[in-house]
């Protein structure tokens, strides 16, 4: 049986990362825990180094090239250290209820399903993954009045989750497990996005090698949503980063044509303008 390890990305938020380490450090199912400090500019590294042990490795990325880059840095380090393994990628603001939950997720990994995720509880909102959106979906998602209705269309119905496991196009990127062999086969995460859309890009790459993703409906983890992100970047900057990642995904993975690229750009500008106005009104 393959070993199981965890990769956690930290950026200027050691206290949140430490809470997760305290949560999982005694789990016997975990052979290694790797914390990648993604070039923090505060005292995170000093705080985290206190948790270094034979099981917990604290490694530093000298340059912050983005979230996907940090994930790759941790994954490649792990594979070099312990060989082929099941890798759990986890946000620092995750709470795992019990060790048994991880064991259940691992049991569902297979050649057909190299990526497995749990149900995510985000402040009472349940996230069970979603369908890969089309170019049209992404264009319309930039229009506030339409985006709410659109979000419902890319979600599966509740009936889809009545069984113990459910196949989905995309699992939430805040916490999931991937077989390292499949990760290597798709050449890891795409590092051309700084933040956001990692899940959709990963799902598209997995789909392209005829593999699928799975949700285990009886396992739930808690996500204290956006704690680490919101401490680091303001709302407008975060939204700009989101839209840059969206454009990269649509243009490079959905192969948008010239007209579609133009429409995406226009609706992108509209949505950003609306956000600016809302921020000015609130201020």
Taking only the tens place, the pLDDT of each residue in 173-188 is 999 999 999 999 999 9
Task: Check: CB of residue 254 under 8 Å from CB of residue 197.
Answer: no
Residue 194 structural domain: 3-133+156-224
* Model pTM score: 0.93
Give a yes or no: residue 77 inside a domain: yes
Between residues 59 and 225, the one the model is more confident about: 59
Q: Given pLDDT bands bounded at 50, 70 and 90, which one contains residue 38?
A: very high
Give a yes or no: residue 168 inside a domain: yes
pLDDT value of residue 15: 95
pLDDT value of residue 232: 47
Give a yes or no: residue 248 inside a domain: no
Joined together, the tokens standing for residue 92 give 């620092």
Q: Based on C-alpha coordinates, what's the Rg of the chain? A: 19
Residue 125 has pLDDT above 60, yes or no: yes
Q: List pLDDT tens digits, range 259-269.
A: 999 999 999 99
Count of domains observed in the chain: 1
CATH number of the domain enclosing 190: 3.90.550.10
Between residues 278 and 23, the one the model is more confident about: 23
Give a yes or no: residue 107 inside a domain: yes
Mean pLDDT, residues 111-127: 95
Give a yes or no: residue 163 inside a domain: yes
pLDDT value of residue 80: 97
Q: Given pLDDT bands bounded at 50, 70 and 90, which one contains residue 150?
A: low
Give a yes or no: residue 266 inside a domain: no
Give a yes or no: residue 8 inside a domain: yes
pLDDT value of residue 283: 64
């Amino acid at each position: 049986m393959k070993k199981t390890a965890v990769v956690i990305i930290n950026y200027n938020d050691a206290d949140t990362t430490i809470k997760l380490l305290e949560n999982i450090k005694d789990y016997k199912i975990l052979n290694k825990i790797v914390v990648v400090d993604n070039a923090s500019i505060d005292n995170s590294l000093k705080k985290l180094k206190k948790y270094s042990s034979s099981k917990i490795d604290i490694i530093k990325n000298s340059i912050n090239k983005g979230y996907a880059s940090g994930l790759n840095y941790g994954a490649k380090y792990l594979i070099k250290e312990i060989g082929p393994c099941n890798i759990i990628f986890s946000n620092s603001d995750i709470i795992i209820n019990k060790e048994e939950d991880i064991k259940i997720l691992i049991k569902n990994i297979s050649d057909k399903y190299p990526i497995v995720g749990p149900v995510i509880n985000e402040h009472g909102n349940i996230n069970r993954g979603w369908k890969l959106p089309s170019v049209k979906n992404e264009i319309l998602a930039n229009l506030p009045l339409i985006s709410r209705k659109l979000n419902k269309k890319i979600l599966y119905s509740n009936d889809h989750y009545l069984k113990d496991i459910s196949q989905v196009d995309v699992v939430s990127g805040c916490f999931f497990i991937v077989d390292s062999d499949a990760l290597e086969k798709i050449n890891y995460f795409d590092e051309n996005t700084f933040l956001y859309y990692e899940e959709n890009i990963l799902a598209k790459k997995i789909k392209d090698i005829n593999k699928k993703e799975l949700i285990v409906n009886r396992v739930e983890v808690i996500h204290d949503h956006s704690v680490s992100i919101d401490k680091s970047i303001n709302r407008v900057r975060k939204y700009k980063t989101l839209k840059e990642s969206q454009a990269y995904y649509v243009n490079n993975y959905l192969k948008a044509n010239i007209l579609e690229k133009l429409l995406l750009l226009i609706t992108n500008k509209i949505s950003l303008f609306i956000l600016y106005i809302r921020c000015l009104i609130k201020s």
